[in-house]
Amino acid sequence: MDWLQNIEWMSLIKSFVVGGLICVIGQILIDKTKLTPARILVLFVTTGAILGGLGIYQYLVDFAGAGATVPLTGFGNNLAKGAIKAVKEYGIIGAFTGGVTAAAGGISAAVFFGYIASLISKPKMKKQ
Amino acid sequence: MKPLDSKKDYQKYVEQKSPNSPIFKNCFNAFWVGGLICTIGQIIMNICKSKGFSVEISGTIVSIILIGISAFLTSLNIFNKIGKFAGAGSLIPITGFANSIVSPSMEYKSEGYIMGVGGKMFTVAGPVLVFGISTSIIIGLIYMIFNTQSITLV
Amino acid sequence: MQKLGKQTIKFDTPPTITEVASIVGPKEANGPLAKYFDQCLEDEFWGEKTWEKSESKIIKETVNLAISKSGIPNNDIEYCFAGDLLNQCISSSFGLRGLNIPFLGIFGACSTFVEGLSLGAIIIEACAKHVLCAASSHFCSAEKQFRFPLELGNQRPPTSQWTVTGAGAAVLSKTGNGPFITHITSGKIIDMGIKDSNNMGAAMAPAALDTLLCHFNDTGRSPSYYDVILTGDLGHVGKEILTELALEKGYNIKSNYNDCGVLIFDKEKQDTHAGGSGCGCCATVFSGYFFKQFKERKIKRILLIATGALMNSTSSQQGESIPGIAHAVSIEL
């Protein structure tokens, strides 16, 4: 059972708690404000980008790892971080290329898998 | 107060009459499902790091794998059931972003693969990209002008 | 035909509802009224490729069933009033394009069925012998048009309603054994400023109240005159609101009032939150359940008030409130 010892339990617990809490914030917003899912996602990605731009979000990422990067705030942070990094390297053009470059993997994957899913599958009635 | 006296009175009255969402139950479900998804992400992250990938690449791999899982579950007509149970727990992680791209693709398949799937794919997730990318550009420009992250914490 | 009061018409020779038909989807088939419908589908596509085609097929087959059950030759039916919820009412116009009967498409949101019965009754009193009225809705096509893709993992708030998959059709005739449409009360558009499209019952309840009070005023009747007062799709939330508002106006409808959206689903078992909605809701519940009650002489007088929310996805995105409408028909033996 070597692999069991190799798991960094602490990192898993931290990401569980922080990731869970970020979702709870979203849930409270959904239930209390009647915002649509699209608006919630926009709110989270923008908040993440701003916190990322201010350099605050990085602390959360250092602390909670995937607990901070997997929620959409992490996606926003990634965009902001990428833009800043590219500005450092390429100047003004970096502001336009950096964000998407950093998030390219996620966006491309979602587009590609979305298209594949539409080829192989059909929507079904919700049973409930 | 008579409910039909004015629109405002009626709206207040309706608010009293309408059942509220079971917020504690919803938050509990959102917490553990959201936490679990992030933990799966962390496990993948740890494996990637131990294989010697950089933090950035590991993060991208995590995103792609979670998006793949989410797309797969959506195409099996399972993700909406998870979403109904977990609410924000499956919406806020990157899985929700993937679901919001995959679900219209499947729905609008009936309008054809070009204008249906291709054109309607971003009906739900489009705003996320518009606002996310625009914010990142503004942040990049601000950084360039001031040459610093405003409260230079980094 | 004579006018009573402001909004009610009384028929001199009340038209008969000769025959009805109803076809519903699988979810409704699991509900408490399943055994009363003519046909229950096993899947929402019904062998078609799209939700829209499926809805067209449902209304087409329902209309054909109503005509064949009535025994009236197709050629003798002079007009058809039909409508649905999809943009430009494509379910009914596409579904009924092969019908070869003069077609008058109508839109009254979820009140369409009763709007059809009202217009049908008027045209029969005026000149026609046989008229057809139909309405349909489909959960999947309605979700796609008004809300989100089906596979999106979102939660439905407790006030939200479940669009009924199904269609109801009725053949009206000049002569027959009843039940008869004796009065119609056409409603005004009432908007009390509700903006939440997940709370349609509350948005439509004031319209239902207005039509209800108007009907009682115009005809001089009281709630106890009717065996059943039936609203279309106010659901659990709207039903409670209407009961309370009516009581406040001096009409106690508690004992004989019910709602089609409440009746069609089992709220606890089927997890439909506030109940059913859609054109198909009151069309199928009336055609399925209540018409049979008339035929078995279990009930003699119904006031059927179908309610509609006159909004679309553009208006709700632009932050507009939801105007409600309600049309009533008094059906008696």
What is the residue-level pLDDT of chain C in tens, covering all 333 positions?
999 999 999 999 999 999 999 999 999 999 999 999 999 999 999 999 999 999 999 999 999 999 999 999 999 999 999 999 999 999 999 999 999 999 999 999 999 999 999 999 999 999 999 999 999 999 999 999 999 999 999 899 999 999 999 999 999 999 999 899 999 999 999 999 999 989 999 999 999 999 999 999 999 999 999 999 999 999 999 999 999 999 999 999 999 999 999 999 998 899 899 999 999 999 999 999 999 999 999 999 999 999 999 999 999 889 999 999 999 999 999
Nearest chain B residue to A76 by CA distance is B132
* pLDDT in the model for residue A107: 94
Chains near B (3 or more Cβ pairs under 8 Å): A, C
How buried is A80 (Cβ within 10 angstroms: 0-12 exposed, 13-18 middle, 19+ buried)? buried
Give the SS3 label for residue C299: coil
Which one, of B72, B131, B119, B104, lies nearest residue A72 by Cα? B131
CB distance C166 to C123 below 8 Å? no
Is A79's pLDDT higher than 90? yes
> Is B109 inside a domain boundary?
yes
Every domain of chain A and the residues it spans? 2-120
One-letter amino acid for residue B86 of the chain: A
Nearest chain B residue to A110 by CA distance is B98
> Is B74 inside a domain boundary?
yes
Q: Are strands C257-259 and C39-40 parallel, antiparallel or unpaired?
A: unpaired
- My answer on whether B67 and B93 are in the same domain is yes
C154 to chain B, minimum CA–CA distance in Å? 5
How many domains would you assign to chain B?
Answer: 2
> Is B129 inside a domain boundary?
yes
Chain B within 8 Å of C313 (Cβ-Cβ)? Answer: no
Contacts with B148 (C-beta within 8 Å, 6 or more apart), sequence order? none
The distance from CA B59 to its chain's CA centroid, rounded to whole angstroms, is 17
- My answer on whether B136 and B112 are in the same domain is no
- My answer on whether B129 and B56 are in the same domain is no
A34 to chain C, minimum CA–CA distance in Å? 8
Kindly report the CA angle at C241 between C240 and C245, in degrees rounded to 5? 120
Q: Is A73 left (phi over 0), alpha (psi -120 to 50) or beta?
A: alpha
A30 to chain C, minimum CA–CA distance in Å? 9
> Is B148 inside a domain boundary?
yes
C-alpha B136/C-alpha A97 separation (Å) is 10
> Average pLDDT in the A90-104 region?
93
- My answer on whether B64 and B89 are in the same domain is yes
> Is B14 inside a domain boundary?
no
**Structural domain boundaries, residue B40:** 24-121
pLDDT in tens, B58-117: 999 999 999 999 999 999 999 999 999 999 999 999 999 999 999 999 999 999 999 999
pLDDT in tens, C204-227: 999 999 999 999 999 999 999 999
Chain B within 8 Å of C49 (Cβ-Cβ)? Answer: yes
Which one, of C151, C171, C148, lies nearest residue C160 by Cα? C148
pLDDT in tens, C259-291: 999 999 998 899 899 999 999 999 999 999 999
Which one, of C264, C333, C329, C265, lies nearest residue C119 by Cα? C329
ipTM: 0.91
- My answer on whether B76 and B41 are in the same domain is yes
- My answer on whether B148 and B91 are in the same domain is no
C-alpha C258/C-alpha C33 separation (Å) is 14
Give the SS3 label for residue A55: coil
- My answer on whether B107 and B153 are in the same domain is no
> Is B3 inside a domain boundary?
no
- My answer on whether B133 and B114 are in the same domain is no
- My answer on whether B55 and B83 are in the same domain is yes
C-alpha C63/C-alpha C57 separation (Å) is 10
> Is B17 inside a domain boundary?
no
Residue C193's CB is within 10 A of a number of other CB atoms, namely 16
pLDDT in tens, A38-54: 899 999 999 999 999 99
Nearest by CB to A53, from B27, B118, B149: name it. Answer: B149
C positions 228-267 inside 8 Å of B (CB): 237, 240-241, 244-245, 248
pTM of the model: 0.93
- My answer on whether B55 and B129 are in the same domain is no
Give the SS3 label for residue B137: helix
Cβ contact (<8 Å) for B139 and A74? Answer: no
Spell out the domains of chain C, with CATH numbers in brackets: 2-173 (3.40.47.40), 180-332 (3.40.47.40)
